[in-house]
Amino acid sequence: MKKLVNIDKIEELVKDGDRILVGGFGATGSPLTILDKIARTNVKDLEIVSNNLGENGQGLHKVFVAGQIKKAVGSFFTINREAVMAWSRGELEIELLPQGTLAEAIRAGGAGIGGFYTKTAVGTELSKGKEIREIDGERYVFEKAIRGNVAVIKAAKADKLGNLTYYATARNFNPMMATAADIVIAEVDEIVDELDPEIIVTPHLYVDYIVQTGYKKERGAYVESR
Amino acid sequence: MSLDSKAIIAKRIAEELNDGDVVNLGVGIPTLVTSFLGDKQVYLQTENGLLGMGPRPPIDEVDPDIVDAGKSPVTITKGAAFFNSADSFGMIRGGHIDVAILGTLEIDKTGEIANWAVPNQPILGVGGAMDLVAGAKKVIVASLLFSKDGSPKLVDELTYKSSGERKVDLFVSEYAAFTFEKDGIHVIDIYGDLSIEELSKKLNLPLIDKTVQYNA
């Protein structure tokens, strides 16, 4: 299986200044093993696109604590207290988008759409400086699509070609992110011989590399299995 | 007082819901509404990708892959469906959610709400608040009428940052239920210990008594 790589491969794939799309909603559906690896490299000045910056000290939180993030684009950073403090000290740039706008911008980025008009956030601080257009009597704000140099995502199962399935609400941003970056790396719980074509969510053409997760679920939390 | 007041609000909102509605609940008082539904079956949508959300599981059955929009563990009900975040917000903006029940920091006399940014604090989180305000078929606000410091949440003009220009359909507080019409704020139901005149004085806002028409 050509796409299956050792976690050390991450060192070659992620570079200084990269814009990285990171799947997950908090720790749920977040590629924790890949993020742990990134946090152990010397890569810096990353621009992270993710709903928030990790949770309970896991995932992106470790990358943030390692001082590798220059800018974060997402919808909810209030729960990341250290990030809020770094922002107020001017050490972290933050771009806030409504959650639905974030999801749609990534979807558009992967689908060859340059941008879109949404009614969300019209008349608020988050549409300031952006183009407003009236369509059929309703006001919409223009939002640009989002793409990354790299996407790191989490899936439940991969087959030998790299087709992916997801589990429960761990799906969240992962399927869109799989479509919207030059290099897509999927962390998976299980690698199987074959998947039922009816249940595949991310077809293999989107996926460049697969790594086996180093986490398991135990007593309602994600814990390292090694 | 606080638990009773919140229960009054939740119970009143439960009356507004119809059997079969798809409902998105914000954090806080909105989550109490499910306790007052009686025989009505509603389907809860959570914007992180689930339609058919059930109650919190017992601690030994928590699955960290099944969470609500507040990242708390939940369960799924029979007929539940999972979907990605783009599809989820397509449902929300596209008008496929029958009712969004949201909390608020402030609401102005036209029914525009501010429910995401607290003044004098870094504004670093919005989540799905603005999408729900813009897109749900019906938006109901569930909130106490006064803040802890006694200042009214129903105001002439927003002092907090707006969540969007769409006006909400109904505001239910522990004293009264309000709608927002061209001629002003209508009181459609009153159940607290203050009269409409007293409420109007405390809020420093004109209120139009529509309780008779509404309940006729």
What topology does CATH give the domain A7-216? Glutaconate Coenzyme A-transferase (3.40.1080)
Residue pLDDT, tens place only, A28-39: 999 999 999 999
A158's tokens: 């991969």
Domain range for B15 is: 2-215
Q: How many CA atoms lie within 13 A of A101 on its CB side?
A: 30
- Minimal Cβ distance to B65: which of A104, A139, A169: A169
Q: Where are the domains of chain A?
A: 7-216
Residue B213 has pLDDT above 80, yes or no: no
3-state percent helix, strand, coil for chain B, nearest multiple of 5:
25, 30, 45
Question: CB–CB of B174/B8 below 8 Å?
Answer: yes
Whichever domain contains B134, its CATH number is 3.40.1080.10
Residue B3 has pLDDT above 80, yes or no: no
Which of A153, A219, A137 has its CA nearest to residue A189? A153
pLDDT > 70: percent of chain B: 97
Average confidence score pLDDT of chain B: 95
Residue pLDDT, tens place only, A152-204: 999 999 999 999 999 999 999 999 999 999 999 999 999 999 999 999 999 99
| Interface with chain B: mutation pick from A124, A130, A167, A200, highest number of B CBs within 10 Å | A124
Ranges of residues in chain A whose predicted pLDDT is under 70? 226
Looking at the structure of chain B, the number of domains it has is 1
Q: What is the pLDDT of residue A226?
A: 65
Question: CB–CB of B164/B126 below 8 Å?
Answer: no
Residue A82: other Cβ atoms inside 10 A = 13
Angle, nearest 10°, between helix axes B85-93 and A99-110? 120
Catalytic annotation, residues of B: 47
Which chain B residues contact residue A219 at CB under 8 A? 60, 62
Q: What is the pLDDT of residue B1?
A: 45
Can you tell me the distance from the alpha carbon of A225 to that of B3, in angstroms, rounded to the nearest whole number?
Answer: 43
Mean pLDDT of B137-156: 97
Report how far apart, in Å, the C-alpha atoms of B173 and of each of B5, B34, B116, B164 are: 8, 17, 19, 21
Q: What is the pLDDT of residue B63?
A: 98
Strand B176-181 vs strand A209-212: parallel, antiparallel, or unpaired? unpaired
Can you tell me the distance from the alpha carbon of A54 to that of A68, in angstroms, rounded to the nearest whole number?
Answer: 14
Interface of A with B in 139-198 (CB under 8 A): 139, 166-176
- Minimal Cβ distance to A124: which of B46, B84, B130: B130
Q: What is the pLDDT of residue B118?
A: 81
Q: Is A167 exposed, middle or buried (0-12, 13-18, 19+ CB in 10 A)?
A: middle
